[in-house]
Amino acid sequence: MRYDAPMDPKTIVITGASSGIGAALARRLAADGHRLVIAARRERELNDVARETNGVAVVTDVTRRDDVLRLRDKALPVDVWINNAGRGITRPALELTDEDFDEMMSVNVKSALYGMQAIAPHFIESGHGHIINVSSFLGRVPIAAHRSAYNAAKAALNALTANVRTDLQSKYPGIHVSLVMPGLVSTDFARNVAGSAAPVAPAWRPGMSMTPQTAEEVAEAIAKLIEHPRAEIFTNPASEGMARKYFEELAL
């Protein structure tokens, strides 16, 4: 169920917007009349989403700092910056190569760091703004071992997000920094992971079950977060209980 549409349209940047959660989020936010600046590497797919949402498409490789700065300059002034770009991997930790690990950190962590560093000075100057980093349930509960470096990268993103929030919240209460942790989501993400030509089902622990969400359901949760900022959210209602169970078991 959708909440009431916002009264104040915002300028919102979304990275990784050519498909999946990013594209669904662009459609969801466009329906509320927000001005969108959307970014991704795949120009054709990005332009398709831009036409559908009346957004501004900026072809961007978020692993390149200069590209992220160019995106920011084309988007300013910005109210909300959403670091959504990411990529997974299917490879056990003990089999990871240097290239595997570096790619996961670059796509999932450094890209968000570049985004935060690019937009934070603008938010500090204006005294308000909202940074949203899209992480994963696996960054908090790394139970899908075949995702290895992806889990590690998202855990690093979780920590960086908390660090930036701590740095900003005392001096700039009008700036919000939020972490979004989706669980299983029905998108083409699994088909595009490194290290595997076919999707691998998560090896959930006994007693833990999670029904996949649609990208639209995740987009709805993020839209609500924009209207009502919080430090962290799980997009799947089952995730919080699963996380608590996981850490309780570790303490036994």
User: Active-site residues: which are they?
Assistant: 150
Q: Which of 136, 153, 133 has the alpha carbon at shortest distance from 190?
A: 136
DSSP assignments along 177-242, one per residue? EEEEE--SEESSGGGG-BT-SS-----PPTT---PPEEHHHHHHHHHHHHHS--SEEESSHHHHHH
As a residue count, the chain comes to: 252
Where do we find the tokens 């795949």? 42
The terminus-to-terminus CA distance of the chain in angstroms comes to 39
Residue 115 near residue 60, CB atoms below 8 Å: no
Cis peptide before 77 (omega within 30 of 0): yes
Phi then psi dihedrals of residue 53, to 5 deg? -110, 0
